[in-house]
Structure formats: C-alpha cells, structure tokens
Amino acid sequence: MSLSIGLVGLPNVGKSTLFNALTRQNVLVADYPFATIEPNLGIVPLPDGRVHRLAAVFEADKTVPATVSFTDIAGLVEGASRGEGLGNKFLENIRRTGVIAQVVGAFRPDTDVKADIGIISTELVLADWQVLDGQFQKLRKPAKGDKQLAEQLVCLEAALGELDDGRLLSHSPRREEYSEQLARFNLLTLKPTVYIFNLAEKDIGNSELKAELAEAAPGGDCLFVSAKLELEISQLSTEERAGFLREYGFKRSGIEQLAAAGFDILGLQTFLTAGPKEAKAWVIPKNCPAPRAAGAIHGDMERGFIAADVVTFEDLMESGSWSAARAGGLCRTEGKQYLMKDGDVVEFKFNV
C-alpha cells in the first residue's frame, strides 16, 4: 500500500513547478495550456527520520522509507468533461489516484480563486454524472424484477440528484453509503481533496490572506505554499534545507505537509521493521490488525501468522537493541487481535 496523490488544476497555476519541487524532477514548465500532456509520475521517499535512525542503530545495509507517488496531470479547462482540451483523457488519469490535490494559483492579485476552484469541481461533477447516468439508464429495466438491482438504482438516483445540485459526493451526508455501493466506478467526486494554494513568495506569511483563501475552498484540507520557494528548497542539501525552512518560519516543507494531509485523509500510518540487512517503513491503514500488517510484507506471513513482537520506536531507541528492549520489559508479544499503532517496530512470527 502506498499514498498516491494527483496534482490537478487549471493551466498555469504552478502544478508542474510544484511537481518538480516535490519529486526533484525536471519536467517542462511553460506558460501555456497543456505544457503537460502525458501525466508525469514521481515516486518520492516519505520524509520520516525514524527509519533512518533505526538503520543507524541496527547498522542496516539498506534503508527503505515508505513512498508517496505524485502524478502531475495536465491542466483541466472548462468543458473537460465534454472532451475539451483532451479533457476525458486527463479525467481518467485522475481516477487512478487516491487523493486529489487541487493546485490553485493565488500568486496574482486579480485571480478569482473561488471561480477557479469551481471550474475544476464542476468538471469532476459532470464527469461522474455521465458515468452514473449511463449506469442508471442501463439498470432501469432489469431493476424492476430484481430487489438487489432496485436498491442499486435507488443509490444511483440519490447520487445523481446530488451531482445535479453541483455537490461533490465526498461532501454528502451519504458519503459512506456511496463509497460502499458505488466503489466500482472509482468516482472523482468521492476522492478526498486537498487544496494547495500557490502563493507569491511575499505572501507566504500572510495569515489574513490564507484565512480568506481557505474560505473559498469547499471543505477539505488547505495547504499554503510557494511553488517557486519549494523548488529552491528541493535543490538544497539536508542541512541547508533545514536552515532555509527556519529562515522562512516553516515547520515542514511542502512534501511533508502534503504527505501528512494525505495520510490523515486516507487514514494511513506506518510501522517499522529493522535488522542488519534492512530498516524499512511499511504503510498500512490505521487500526490494521497485526496479521494484515504482516501481509504487507508477504502473504505467507499473514496466512501463517502466529504472533508479533512489538516495541514502540521511542522505547527501542532508548534501549538500543531488541535484546535490551526485551530485557527491560518494553517488548510485548501480541496476537491476531492486536491493532497496529503508528511507529510500532515489529518482528512477526509465522509458520507456513
């Protein structure tokens, strides 16, 4: 399991600049629509100092952090759901991502950010409406003699009504029902959304402006970055980057903010494994049972799960080794019902 984030937005709002900063790649950045045609994919190590500290303690040969994948999807335009600007192709690329990060250009004083957000939201709504209406028309006749299909039809009709009203299904009171009943359609409006406001460098500390921009976002987390600054930060060494962040009063870089928001929205967490060969971070859902977490490493470990030796990252760092943690009574043996916690360091026992 990994975190997948799709960067969407109107042309020329700074998506590709931000993508370059997040992934430290060098894709085309141009001031005209559709500088990005095919989606650019970047897989980036998730910032997490714990796995590196574990590697140092265990003198591991290899350090493997969890990853987050970013997709820079070509700028959407009004009419994308009707195919404008190759819109249908771009909308399908969005469907493959777990979280939509809508980049909103807020670096020009004359930008109507609410209107820009509305254009993207409308295209997502219209695209989903077309998908669901096609299914609704298909089921109308066979549903008359089939109770299960009739229930699906009721759900489809309710969702279509909300889309008719211009509502994102992720903001609906019936969101959980739609997520369960309509999961196979991979609906765009059911995907969690983060709004990334791309500010001018001079406005990065403007709290009043940030509050005003946040009001324009129809729910969802809001992040405030300067794509140009993030690009500068990405090109610095680790030590220089820390100093740069302090200078501007940033607690975290853009990738750290976005990854944290994505993890929170999708309900994800990480657990850790460590030994002389490798220290590694694994991504799992929150409240994940221990056997399922073992399955993230290998299916045989889930099928043959016996128990899990668990110690918190902090206790293991303080102890300095598994043997010291066990001697100090800090290591617990947990069974199949144990729900994993973020930062657990684990050794799984299994037999197949």
- The 8-class DSSP code of residue 76 comes to P
pLDDT in tens, 257-266: 888 888 888 8
Taking 60 as the threshold, does the pLDDT of residue 26 lie above it? no
Compute the average pLDDT of residues 236-247.
Answer: 83
Residue 176's alpha-carbon distances to 9, 101, 193, 244, 288, in angstroms, are 26, 21, 16, 42, 19
How far apart (Å, rounded) are the C-alpha atoms in residues 329 and 291? 23
H helices present in the chain, as ranges: 15-23, 49-58, 87-95, 113-139, 147-164, 175-181, 207-216, 227-234, 238-248, 254-266, 290-297, 299-303, 313-319, 322-327
pLDDT in tens, 139-162: 988 888 888 889 999 999 999 999
pLDDT in tens, 46-80: 888 899 999 999 999 999 999 888 888 766 656 54
Least confident of 126-130, 143-147, 313-317: 143-147
Least confident of 150-154, 177-181, 233-237, 324-328: 233-237
More confident residue, 294 or 94: 294
pLDDT given at position 76: 60
pLDDT given at position 85: 44
More confident residue, 210 or 249: 210
Could you give the percent of the chain with pLDDT greater than 70? 91
Could you give the percent of the chain with pLDDT greater than 90? 56
Taking 70 as the threshold, does the pLDDT of residue 82 lie above it? no
User: Would you kindly state where each structural domain of the chain is located, as residue ranges?
Assistant: 3-263, 287-350
SS3 of 122, please? helix
Least confident of 38-47, 50-59, 98-107, 263-272: 38-47
How far apart (Å, rounded) are the C-alpha atoms in residues 42 and 16? 11
pLDDT given at position 33: 39
pLDDT given at position 247: 83
pLDDT in tens, 180-234: 999 999 999 999 999 999 999 999 889 999 999 999 998 778 999 999 988 888 8
> What average pLDDT does the chain have?
87
Taking 70 as the threshold, does the pLDDT of residue 346 lie above it? yes
More confident residue, 277 or 91: 277
Q: Which CATH architecture has domain 3-263?
A: 3-Layer(aba) Sandwich (3.40)
CA 65 to chain centre: 16
pLDDT-derived band at 34, boundaries 50, 70, 90: very low
The set of residues, in sequence order, having a beta carbon less than 8 Å from that of 43 and lying 6+ positions away, is: 23, 67, 68, 69, 70
Compute the average pLDDT of residues 237-251.
Answer: 82
pLDDT given at position 234: 83
Backbone angles phi, psi at 197, to 5 degrees: -90, 120
pLDDT given at position 240: 86
Q: Are 61 and 55 in contact (CB under 8 A)?
A: no
How far apart (Å, rounded) are the C-alpha atoms in residues 234 and 253? 9
Taking 90 as the threshold, does the pLDDT of residue 251 lie above it? no
Please determine whether the domains at 3-263 and 287-350 fall in the same fold group of CATH.
no
Task: Please compute Rg for the chain using Cα positions.
Answer: 23
pLDDT given at position 103: 94
Q: Using CA atoms of 228, 234, 237, 238 in order, give the dihedral in degrees to the nearest 10.
A: 110
Beta-carbon neighbour count of residue 129 at 10 Å? Answer: 20
How far apart (Å, rounded) are the C-alpha atoms in residues 27 and 19? 8
Question: DSSP 3-state helix, strand, coil percentages of the chain (rounded to 5)?
Answer: 50, 20, 30
pLDDT given at position 37: 42
Superfamily designation of domain 287-350: Beta-grasp domain (3.10.20.30)
More confident residue, 39 or 265: 265
- In what helix (H) or strand (E) does residue 198 lie, and over which residues does it extend? strand 193-199
pLDDT given at position 260: 85
How far apart (Å, rounded) are the C-alpha atoms in residues 199 and 206? 10
pLDDT given at position 35: 37
- One-letter amino acid of 137: Q
pLDDT-derived band at 87, boundaries 50, 70, 90: very low
How far apart (Å, rounded) are the C-alpha atoms in residues 291 and 348? 9
